[in-house]
Amino acid sequence: MLPPYRNEPFTDFSKPENEAAFRAALDQVKAEIGRHYPIVIGDEQISLDDTFPSLNPSRPAEILATFSKGAVEHGEKAITTAAQAFKSWQYVPVADRARYLLRAAAEMRRRKHEFSATMVLEVGKSWAEADADTAEAIDFMEYYARQAVRLADSSHLLYPNAGEQLGLYYIPLGVGIVIPPWNFPLAIPTGMMVAALVAGNTVILKPAEPSPWIAWKLCQLFWDLGLPPGVLNFVSGPGRTTGAHMVAHPQTRFIAFTGSREVGINIFEQASKVPPGQIWLKRTILEMGGKDAVVVDETADLEAAAQGIVVSAFGFQGQKCSAGSRAIITGTVYDEVAERVVDLSRKLQLGAPDLGRDIDMGPVVNLDSMQKIMSYVEVGTQEGELLLGGSPVETADNGYFIPPTIFGDVPSNARIAQEEIFGPVLAMIRASDYDDALAIANGTEYGLTGALFSQDRARLERARHEFHVGNLYLNRKCTGALVGVHPFGGFNMSGTDSKTGGPDYLLLYSQAKSVAERL
């Protein structure tokens, strides 16, 4: 008997005891700096001479940990091992599989700040952002554990047939390759991985290059619970080679990916090929980028709208697929909102987030990312008016700090209004009226999240139908989806709309078997 699902509460860091506990967790994690973490395939740990570092983007000289650079042969071995483990894991009763998730959730809750502190160091999350990431990971485990038990035997959904006993069972697929991004480096790998495991599949987790440390800690949590060897394998290594090899492998049954549009399309294409010896069509679960908009009309609560724009644009330095990187504002209130957005953004505290809970914005994740973002800032200066930011902030430790950067009067078809920048860059766009604003909002190839601030009932209703995004928010920010509350995933080039944290998600990791026995 399970208590009803509820979201993990966020930590109130204004309470001195919580602040002290978080500082202690940071110290604990800092004491672990400098270790090497192996590839784990079955019960074997493989340490290679060829390694790569996980760096602290606030102080890139600080090497937090090193990881073995897994090659194609390690991917190969992991798939064979996972295929072997699948032979028995698929028949482990769903309640037993769910129990691993529940026990892992309980343990992660006990060690919550340790996991969050790891993300503060490894990817530069603020305390609040890291805390929310860990809470989401816990939510995924609690939620999918319950969903798996609900789904596994769905025989009650069938209509009776005289003289037959009927069954409808959701059974697993096989070996899955789980390929997460680095930006929700705990919640996203947890979500994809535990969904696959609880549905009865075996997994190879290939962490994103900037965030292998937190991914390793997640896997270790499951290994420590006595998960049978080979059910969860950890292969760190380059996506382009090792990841791509596993995607193409004939024994791979499915790929769960979250990341960029470019890589998502590549995986979609590669997975559609049927190499010799492959006896199924691979399934792909692909969640990709966004160019999300916050729309504000002249009836809106303008202060709430300005606050919503700022949080959506600059939370975790704009490095969210759900980030509100466009603010589309109707003409009569544009100037007032733009001014307020600039004012509020100017007040955001930038710095190394391990320094304290007051830091709102940390660094961007790495040098490549910083260079890409700055090249878009360069483009932006040709396309709009720079209202705030625009140059990196230099620090003694050469951290990758970019301040909130805002461009005004950006044309809706400008590159900075169409392409995902994935950094703290906001394009403000002037719309002539609500019709125009909605057309601009829908005028990208993405369709992930969107928000509308308005007090006009007819417009709010119209947005429900016409604002073409997977996650629509009315009179609130466009980030911060909660598991089980706001099932998450986008349309068009934002991916396959898998709706993580929703009641249908586990279907993607399962196949239905119908059984009829003549009585």
Interface with ligand NAP (CB under 6 A):
179-184, 188, 206, 208-209, 238-240, 243-244, 247, 258-260, 263, 266-267, 287-290, 321, 420, 422, 448, 490, 494-495
Angstrom distance (rounded) from CA 125 to CA 260: 20
Instruction: Please state the closest distance from residue 318 (CB atom) to ligand NAP, in A.
Output: 10
In this structure, are residues 114 and 206 in contact, taking their beta carbons and an 8 Å threshold?
no
Residue 402 binds which of Mg ion, ligand NAP, none (CB < 5-8 A, kind-dependent): none
Residue 131 binds which of Mg ion, ligand NAP, none (CB < 5-8 A, kind-dependent): none
What size, in residues, is the chain?
A: 519
Angstrom distance (rounded) from CA 69 to CA 507: 33
Instruction: Please state the closest distance from residue 122 (CB atom) to Mg ion, in A.
Output: 5
- Other beta carbons within 10 angstroms of residue 426's beta carbon come to 31
495 counts as binding Mg ion under rule CB under 5 A = no
Residue closer to ligand NAP (CB basis): 133 or 298 = 133
Instruction: Please state the closest distance from residue 417 (CB atom) to ligand NAP, in A.
Output: 16
Residue whose structure tokens are 């509350």: 485
Candidates 24-32, 55-63, 147-155, 345-353; binding stretch for Mg ion (CB under 5 A): 55-63
Q: Which of 122, 209, 321, 478 is catalytic?
A: 321
Instruction: Please state the closest distance from residue 499 (CB atom) to ligand NAP, in A.
Output: 10
In this structure, are residues 85 and 42 in contact, taking their beta carbons and an 8 Å threshold?
yes
What strand order describes the sheet that includes 35-37?
35-37, 59-68, 51-56
Residue closer to Mg ion (CB basis): 67 or 488 = 67
Residue closer to ligand NAP (CB basis): 372 or 462 = 372
Instruction: Please state the closest distance from residue 123 (CB atom) to Mg ion, in A.
Output: 5
Instruction: Name the residue among 154, 146, 245, 262 with its Cα closest to residue 204.
Output: 245
Residues ≥6 apart with Cβ < 8 Å to 437: 295, 297, 328, 329, 330, 431
Is residue 107 part of the annotated active site? The answer reads no
Residue closer to Mg ion (CB basis): 209 or 360 = 209
Residue closer to ligand NAP (CB basis): 320 or 340 = 320
Q: Which residue is nearest to Mg ion (CB)?
A: 210
Instruction: Please state the closest distance from residue 467 (CB atom) to ligand NAP, in A.
Output: 17
Instruction: Please state the closest distance from residue 418 (CB atom) to ligand NAP, in A.
Output: 14
Candidates 54-62, 224-232, 342-350, 424-432; binding stretch for Mg ion (CB under 5 A): 54-62
For the chain, the 3-state helix, strand and coil shares in percent, each to the nearest 5, are: 40, 20, 35
Residue 239 binds which of ligand NAP, Mg ion, none (CB < 5-8 A, kind-dependent): ligand NAP
Angstrom distance (rounded) from CA 419 to CA 414: 9
157: DSSP letter? G
As a three-state string, the secondary structure of 7-61 is CCCCCCCCCHHHHHHHHHHHHHHHCCCCEEECEEECCEEECCCCEEEEEECCEEE
Is residue 321 part of the annotated active site? The answer reads yes
Question: What angle do helix axes 212-224 and 94-110 make, rounded to 10 degrees?
Answer: 120
395 token code pair: 């620090």
Instruction: Please state the closest distance from residue 73 (CB atom) to Mg ion, in A.
Output: 26
Candidates 114-122, 146-154, 390-398, 481-489; binding stretch for Mg ion (CB under 5 A): 114-122
In this structure, are residues 477 and 324 in contact, taking their beta carbons and an 8 Å threshold?
yes
Residue 122 binds which of ligand NAP, Mg ion, none (CB < 5-8 A, kind-dependent): Mg ion
Q: Which of 136, 142, 209, 287 is catalytic?
A: 287
Residue closer to ligand NAP (CB basis): 120 or 204 = 204
Angstrom distance (rounded) from CA 1 to CA 198: 17
Angstrom distance (rounded) from CA 74 to CA 387: 49
Residue 179 binds which of Mg ion, ligand NAP, none (CB < 5-8 A, kind-dependent): ligand NAP
Candidates 116-124, 187-195, 234-242, 423-431; binding stretch for Mg ion (CB under 5 A): 116-124
Chain Cα centroid distance, residue 424: 17
Instruction: Name the residue among 165, 124, 86 with its Cα closest to residue 354.
Output: 124
Instruction: Name the residue among 434, 440, 432, 383 with its Cα closest to residue 406.
Output: 383
Q: Which of 40, 55, 119, 431 binds Mg ion (CB under 5 A)?
A: 55
Q: Which of 114, 122, 139, 292 binds Mg ion (CB under 5 A)?
A: 122
Residue 243 binds which of Mg ion, ligand NAP, none (CB < 5-8 A, kind-dependent): ligand NAP
Q: Where are the beta strands (DSSP E) in 87-150?
A: none
Count of residues interacting with Mg ion (CB under 5 A): 3
214 counts as binding Mg ion under rule CB under 5 A = no
Q: Which residue is nearest to ligand NAP (CB)?
A: 239
Residues 151-210 that bind Mg ion (CB under 5 A): 210
In this structure, are residues 493 and 261 in contact, taking their beta carbons and an 8 Å threshold?
yes
Active site residues: 287, 321
- By the criterion CB under 5 A, which residues form the site for Mg ion? 55, 122, 210
